[in-house]
A and B are shown apart, each in its own frame.
Chain A
Amino acid sequence: EVQLVESGGGLVQPGRSLKLSCAASGFTFSNYYMAWVRQAPTKGLEWVASITNSGGSTYYRDSVKGRFTISRDNAKSTLYLQMDSLRSEDTATYYCTRETTLFDYWGQGVMVTVSS
């Protein structure tokens, strides 16, 4: 059974950093692209970043380029999202997803609140 379990969320002040983790199991992690998708409170879904299966290439939405870094450790079957210079508009639930041109499995999500 595919499982994706996020951790690392919480309350953080604007301008500070936070790092999210996603532990994957039930599939060969190193064979798949992975992505982060977020959802602001009461809003829709928004793709944030993707990473190839080897980690050699990464892709970001414009609003997080230069502030967020997606990475992975295939030996640990873990996906990461380093979020720096956080803004209030980054407040959202962040979902770890397995990407195969679509998003076929999702974690339960982790809440990130950016507020002073």
Chain B
Amino acid sequence: DAGVTQSPTHLIKTRGQQVTLRCSPKSGHDTVSWYQQALGQGPQFIFQYYEEEERQRGNFPDRFSGHQFPNYSSELNVNALLLGDSALYLCASSLAPISTDTQYFGPGTRLTVL
């Protein structure tokens, strides 16, 4: 049973560029959440997708946007990259968007903005 997968593994961009990160949820899961983890910090919630709609959003600017496809996979887009966007971006999937459900994390995409 494949777990959560993310691509690419690493990415280097320059300030002002745009980036797209991809996530495939665990088999049977239809809810995808995205988190940003800065070095030495805990993950910070960006947003969650369920039934192809953004259901919840954390305290992130509109430069961060996403999408969920009919097969439940998801993309995270970040526009006008800033140096402070350098972080590990984690995708987590769950069976349903409820607080009692386990979220399983993927290996993450390490984004470096120069």
Chain A partners chain B: no
Q: B residues engaging A (CB < 8 A)? A: none
